[in-house]
Chain A
Amino acid sequence: MRIALFGNPNTGKSTVFNLLTGLRQKVGNFPGITVEKRTGTLPLDGESPEILDVPGIYSIYPNSKEEEIVQQVIFGSEAEGLPDLGIVVVDSTNLERNLLLFTQLSDLKIPLILVVNMMDLASRKGIKIDIEGLQKRLPNTPVVSMNARVALGKDRLLDAVRTQREKRSTNEPFIPDFTVLKNHEIEAQGLEAKERFRLIKNLLHGIITSSETTESSDRNRWDRWLTHPVAGYGIFALILMVIFQLVFLLASYPMDWIEHGFAILSQFVSTHLPSGVFNALLCQGVIPGISGVLVFIPQIAILFIMLSFLEESGYLARAVFLMDRLVRPFGLNGRSVVPLLSSLACAIPGVLATRGIANRKERFITLFVAPLMSCSARIPVFTLLISLVIPAKRIGGIFQLQGLVLFGLYALGILSALAVAWVLNLLMKNEARSYYLMEIPTLKPPVLRNIYLTVLEKIKVFIVEAGGIIVAISVLLWILASYGPTATKEKAQKQVKQTEAYSRATPNEREQMENSVALENSYIGILGKTIEPVIEPLGYDWKIGIALITSFAAREVFVGSLSTIYAAQSDQEEHTKLMQRLKNEKKADGTPQFTLRAGVSLMVFYVYAMQCISTLAVVKKETQSWFWPIVQAIVFGLMAYLMAFLAFNVL
């Protein structure tokens, strides 16, 4: 049996879905498009019928190209056919508007269950609904009152599913002779809606009684502040600051545990397995690769706990309302704000979050610029380079210069994202007029179960979308770094052993020098030397070139690569030792390599460069074409080169 869960946005539909399916759910895509398809199974009397969570809609008529395809899958004749049972979740405080979708579905001859949800909210607003009276007027549809937030009414709903299970629809038509999606003309759809609302008014006559409450003034008092011209933006800025403080503060501990844990594991495996190629592949390719995937999870989890808290509580709709006008000149929509914020953790969930933007042009602009928001993979790169070239002094007695530089890099990314969006807005054609109609939900305490399930899903998506690619690339890079043309490699190895420094070195240092020489003569070393003429104008040598190439696995690999190249010991003191080595590093002419100019140039390069294959793969998937990721890689690559060149030559 196939059950479909319908409802307007903000009716608690997802809460009902989570309540019915718990962890037995999976997220995929509708065929050919990237609208999320969420399905789950409901354990019921030994059977497990499939439940499809239909994206929140106000009417069966599509709103965008994407919705059109979803609607075809659900209602179209060539698709799987109509669901065997529809559960329609309606908001009890707004029965009239919510019932529009219900009457349409009923006329499609789908057996239905009507779930009148959020009964607590209704009674708080002084609204009384005569459920029994409504049931009498809808004899063929079980009417179930629920308060899904606290799991109230679940048994009643399951009973209703049992009674409706085997039924064919015997619904009395609201509009006789109604055929599926007959009204293609927008005007006809409008007329149909009006006719339906007239019928709904009759249906509800005498069912709803409402008394005066003070709720309305209460609502306005909060919202006046949240959307206030000064306080509104102030609150939004404050919330963002708190979020990022918490992300940095809380995530650093689990990130350290993950990194250390995997370093220990790698050490353990390398000493306990027979040495050889397989051992090296495992310890230097696979394990660091997996560690490089997992280390992102704390930041992603913490950011999404807070974002979904804001979303669930209804605050994000206010932020979208506030920001819409500000971001429109850049071809963005108020709804672009959430994907762009997510991109500050990782561009992958950010790109996926653009699915909520109905207008195609606005959506593509948003996902195009999302990778310019500084993601968490850039943080280790920035921290290393800042502590290397920026002096730790205070400016004006208050501000840490190093902190200001980090802030500046974030600001550079955000401003560049807006600038690119502005240009794209001029270049792209708009296929459909952008309009913005958004319901602003009531502020309410979030349902923890929903937050937990959302965060779990985001992590799963990240691992699926990025995990494989990151591990694969780190294995590939390991191969390129471990092998090279044998003749030159052996010759170089011999040469280093004859040097004076080598003979004076301790066994440990000798090993490092050998490793360093091996890397220099590996394929990746040769690659680094090949690109040296290209990156020289930016102030980089071939060693930095190697680190740039390895960053394609994930940007933070830059740090690890540098420590291998500069033969720093890979233990706890790695960071300080690496710093010392980098500070002492001299160019061929004897001047220091990591000058202020070169360091800033490198940081600027990392602000722009599209060094993340996983993001490109996700963009390809979301836009259904190679065009966008290729343009992204080229445009951001050129910007990185140009801006880094400027930074190096102007400073």
Chain B
Amino acid sequence: MRLNELLVGEYGRIKAIHACEFSSRLNEFGVMEELSFEVTLSAPFNGPMAIHFNNTTLSIRREDAAAIEVEKVVPPPFENFQ
């Protein structure tokens, strides 16, 4: 499934990031394969969403989130979850 399909409060792990103009940006943020995260915020009217990992909250537009393939996981603990 894709990141934009996850709901607020759900946890996920990244399986793959499909190559796009900002995939290296995502990597530089530390968003890469195997990263576990929580979906913490969602802006109304199909606006951006935000994921939380490693003490960072990162917001991303939903259509951009569609480039990130994730799997849904049951809640923590994860090794990279703080």
Chain A positions within 8 Å of B, measured between CB atoms, are 58-59, 61, 63, 91, 93-94, 96-97, 100, 125, 127, 186-187, 189-190, 193-194, 197, 210, 216, 219-220, 223-224, 227, 229, 232-233, 317, 321-322, 324-326, 334, 432-433, 435-442
Contacts and interface: CB of A to CB of B under 8 A. Distances in A.
A325 B46 contact: yes
Given A94-B56, A232-B44, A437-B58, A61 B50 contact: no
Contacts of A438: 58-59
Contact of A227 (B21, B26, B43, B52): B43
B26 to A, nearest CB: 7
Contact of A96 (B46, B54, B57, B58): B54
Contacts of A91: 55
Interface in B1-52: 19, 21-30, 32, 40-48, 50, 52
B73 interface: no
Contacts of B21: 186, 432-433, 435
Contacts, number: 119
Nearest to B40: A220
B49 to A, nearest CB: 9
Contacts of B24: 61, 186-187, 189-190, 193
B17 to A, nearest CB: 8
A321 B48 CA distance: 7
A94 B54 contact: yes
A530 B8 CA distance: 65
Contacts of B47: 321-322, 324-326
A190 B27 contact: yes
Given A125-B82, A223-B41, A334-B48, A321 B28 contact: no
A324 B61 contact: yes
A437 B21 CA distance: 12
A321 B41 contact: yes
Interface residues of B, number: 33
A257 to B, nearest CB: 43
A89 to B, nearest CB: 16
Contacts of B30: 96-97, 100, 197
A440 B58 contact: yes
Contact of B22 (A96, A437, A441): A437
Contacts of B22: 435, 437
B41 to A, nearest CB: 5
Contacts of B60: 436-437
Contacts of B26: 190, 437
Contacts of A186: 21, 23-24
Contacts of A317: 59
Given A187-B19, A190-B23, A324 B28 contact: no
B48 A193 contact: no
Contacts of B58: 437-440
Given A440-B41, A440-B57, A127 B28 contact: no
A522 B19 CA distance: 68
A318 B37 CA distance: 19
A326 B45 contact: yes
Q: Nearest 5 CB-CB pairs, A to B?
A: A325-B47, A229-B44, A193-B27, A190-B24, A189-B24
B61 A435 contact: yes
Contacts of A433: 21
A233 B26 CA distance: 29
B57 A439 contact: yes
Contacts of A325: 43-48
B54 A97 contact: yes
A210 B82 CA distance: 7
Nearest to B42: A227
9 contacts: A58-B29, A194-B27, A197-B30, A227-B41, A322-B47, A325-B46, A435-B61, A436-B60, A439-B56
B64 A436 contact: yes
Nearest to A59: B28
A590 to B, nearest CB: 56
A326 B47 CA distance: 8
A623 to B, nearest CB: 24
Contacts of B59: 317, 321, 436-440
B79 to A, nearest CB: 10
A432 B46 CA distance: 23
Nearest to A210: B82
Given A189-B27, A325-B43, A440-B41, A125 B57 contact: no
Contacts of A324: 43, 47-48, 61
A125 B27 contact: no
Contacts of A441: 57
Given A436-B61, A440-B57, A63 B82 contact: no
A193 B30 CA distance: 8
Given A224-B41, A227-B43, A324-B48, 14 more contacts: A61-B24, A93-B55, A186-B24, A187-B19, A189-B27, A197-B30, A321-B59, A432-B21, A433-B21, A436-B59, A437-B25, A437-B26, A438-B58, A439-B57
Nearest to B47: A325
A436 B40 CA distance: 17
A322 B43 contact: yes
Given A97-B30, A193-B24, A435 B41 contact: no
Contacts of A58: 25, 28-29
B70 to A, nearest CB: 16
Contact of A223 (B27, B40, B64): B40
A63 B26 CA distance: 12
A244 B51 CA distance: 33
A193 B28 contact: yes
A325 B41 CA distance: 14
